[in-house]
Structure 1
Amino acid sequence: MVELYLAPPLSLSSAHILTLLFAATYVGSLYLSKYTRLSFSNKSSRLKNGGSRAKGSSERWRDDPQVIRARLVIVSLVTALCCLTVYTVIHTVSWAKVCDHAWYYTKVRLGFTLSSVESLYPFLLAPLLYLGPIYASFLGERLPFQFYFSWRTDVLDTFVSWQGVRNYIFGPITEEIVFRACVLSLYHLAGATRTWMIFGSPISFGFAHLHHAWEVYNRYGRTRTALKNAALTTLFQLSYTTLFGSFCAYLFLVTGSIYPPIFSHVFCNIMGIPQIGWEIRKFPTHKRSIQWAYCIGIIGFAIALRPSVFGHVSIYWQPGSKVGKF
């Protein structure tokens, strides 16, 4: 059942404030405890090779297992708190005052229903975009069941580690629930346009990654060069995460499910940033085919994004409306 409102039950300013609170709470929670905070030496060090310096014995870096474990606990609690906030809003503004109904509508709006995804189609978009890198991996025989693929190195050592659990499980799941499901469900209740929900809402997701600049600055020696590296890295990460957030926001809105965005997030984290220049240098005789694979992937991805081909109408994507109907 779809709720019907004569006017948006939540103000747009309230949605903006709650979005900022979600982002601030998610990032701020990483610095509340001494177990989750990072610590660095105050000494500056010039590095000849331009790489990251060695970690000091008294320092705490984000890849330390004890730091990762503490952060996984706190972001899980914050994610649950954000979901509870959405439930509270729905229970307050909705006609479904009965607790069971409010929980049901919260679950639907957060995209936690498996029935909201009717096919595998939404899960294939991210792999299609990465057709070029996948083809390059095929040339290097690095795909599953090829010669240089190792289940121990490429699967166990990658995923069964604290860094793997953070990067490929807890990170994507909690970030998509908070910055996609929770944020977009509130913007939808506030009557925000699709354009804003797709291109405006991911800004908070991008800015939530700015705190990594402090780590980069310290790891690269706290020098002017380190500051430059931190600024460039942060600018790129801000642009990349905001753009990626727009894709995941669109995917969430058109499917009404949080599972395709989570899968896409995990997949993109595994694949990393495409390195077409390095791939061409490694396989010079396949330069043309690599370029074609990239072009086909990008063009095919753009064509595949048409809402009409998803074969499913979600509560967030009603035909003929620029704003999600309630």
Structure 2
Amino acid sequence: MDTNVEIALEDLPKISSATSASCCFILSIIYVASLYIWRSEHERNHPSTVKKRFCSVSIVMLIAPIFVYTFSSKELLAHRSLFELLGLRWQGLLAAIVIPSLLTALLFLGPLSVQLYNGHLKLYSCLQYWILCFNNVLWLRNHVVAPLSEEFTFRACMMPLILQSFTPIKSVFITPLFFGVAHFHHISERLSTGLDLKTAVIVSCFQLTYTTLFGFYSAYLFAKTGHFIAPVLAHAICNHMGFPDFQEVFQQNTKKKIIFCSIYVFGLISWIVLLPVVTNPSWYGNTIFWRAI
């Protein structure tokens, strides 16, 4: 296998859009179904339920690459290893760890400034805080297992397939749809907790919206960097920060409110401006997906 030849996906025979889309759809079904194969009287946040789901998604992570290997163009596999297609490679790894993480933190500059002001940011320098986190199964789910399993299935395994049927830009907008819809299954869990149908649908639609928006960002990071770790870290940071809570900002006096709002806007604008700049594929040694970006 000659991995030194710079072959981009656009230079190789395409697989049919029906094939790639069908594979992604099936992978989405498998991932969501794996969460419900266990019979349990406990709700989703119960430690026993969470641990069982850890096992389920781990199995899915073993199954998903089979789709990439089986349905990818043979010509592509002759020039690129499966690991490279999945974004598991050494070249540009340090940049893929540091730059997307800082970029994602910039997106949350507003909330981080609020945490700095109220003193919550000091927790991150406390060893005991991290010990408690790593002993909390829900924290592990939200910050480790979910980012790893979701990004591996919905980005590392779906993007290489979709990229063989569509241009990178189209792929960035297609794969997040599977990711967003896959989160819609939470509606049944909300109903089981006693939430009325209307509220459950509204909350789920809101979740569908922001998970899809994040999916665009995550897919873009994968396509531009060619690294699995980039969207994983972005996912973990976004899960940690959550959707911005503006309540504390609006409770401040006028001067502080203007300062915080300005930081929010500055962070968002800076993120938009820097996104295409700091994800230059050459910085990450990405010679697979970069030419059509």
Aligned residue among 87, 109, 114 for 1:136: 114
Q: Aligned residue for 1:235? A: 205
Q: Aligned residue for 1:62? A: 44
Following superposition, the deviation at residue 114 of structure 1 comes to: 2.8
Q: Aligned residue for 2:222? A: 252
Q: Aligned residue for 2:161? A: 186
- 2:70 and 2:154 map into 1 onto residues whose CA distance is 17
- Relative to 1, partners in 2 of residues 1:94 and 1:213: Cα closer, same or farther, differing over 3 Å? same
Matched, 1:71 2:41: no
Q: Which moved more, 1:299-308 or 1:122-131?
A: 299-308
Q: Aligned residue for 2:150? A: 175
Q: Aligned residue for 1:265? A: 235
- Relative to 1, partners in 2 of residues 1:318 and 1:151: Cα closer, same or farther, differing over 3 Å? closer
Q: Aligned residue for 1:274? A: 244
Task: Report Cα offsets for 1:251-271 as digits up to 9, x if no partner.
Answer: 011000011100010011111
Q: Aligned residue for 2:17? A: 12
Task: Report Cα offsets for 1:268-297 as digits up to 9, x if no partner.
Answer: 111111012333315665111101110110
Structure 1 unaligned spans of 5+: 36-58
Task: Answer whether contact 2:109 2:264 (CA < 8 A) is retained.
Answer: yes
Task: Answer whether contact 1:116 1:256 (CA < 8 A) is retained.
Answer: no
- 1:309 and 1:265 map into 2 onto residues whose CA distance is 16
Task: Answer whether contact 1:117 1:255 (CA < 8 A) is retained.
Answer: no
Q: Aligned residue for 2:86? A: 110
Q: How does 1:22-33 map to 2 (within 5 A)?
A: 22-33=27-38
Between Structure 1 and Structure 2, the one with more helix by share is 2
User: Which amino acid is 2:17 matched to?
Assistant: L
Q: Aligned residue for 1:42? A: none
- 1:245 and 1:135 map into 2 onto residues whose CA distance is 25
The alignment partner of 2:48 has SS state of helix
- 2:179 and 2:51 map into 1 onto residues whose CA distance is 22
User: Which amino acid is 2:286 matched to?
Assistant: S
The alignment partner of 1:60 has SS state of coil
The alignment partner of 1:73 has SS state of helix
Q: CA RMSD in A?
A: 2.3
- 2:233 and 2:208 map into 1 onto residues whose CA distance is 21
Aligned residue among 199, 214, 231 for 2:188: 214
Task: Answer whether contact 1:159 1:168 (CA < 8 A) is retained.
Answer: no
- Relative to 1, partners in 2 of residues 1:143 and 1:283: Cα closer, same or farther, differing over 3 Å? farther
The alignment partner of 1:298 has SS state of helix
Task: Answer whether contact 1:107 1:113 (CA < 8 A) is retained.
Answer: yes
Task: Answer whether contact 1:216 1:229 (CA < 8 A) is retained.
Answer: no
Matched, 1:94 2:75: yes
TM-score (norm 1): 0.80
Identity %: 29
Task: Answer whether contact 1:10 1:93 (CA < 8 A) is retained.
Answer: no
Task: Report Cα offsets for 1:163-222 as digits up to 9, x if no partner.
Answer: 1111111110010010011000111222x1122211121000000001101111222x25
- 1:151 and 1:289 map into 2 onto residues whose CA distance is 31
Task: Answer whether contact 1:280 1:290 (CA < 8 A) is retained.
Answer: no
- Relative to 1, partners in 2 of residues 1:116 and 1:12: Cα closer, same or farther, differing over 3 Å? farther
Matched, 1:127 2:102: no
TM-score (norm 2): 0.88
- 2:118 and 2:77 map into 1 onto residues whose CA distance is 56
Following superposition, the deviation at residue 8 of structure 1 comes to: 2.6
Q: Which entry has the higher C-alpha Rg, 1 or 2?
A: 1
The alignment partner of 2:251 has SS state of helix
Following superposition, the deviation at residue 107 of structure 1 comes to: 0.4
The alignment partner of 1:196 has SS state of helix
Structure 2 unaligned spans of 5+: none
Task: Answer whether contact 2:184 2:208 (CA < 8 A) is retained.
Answer: yes
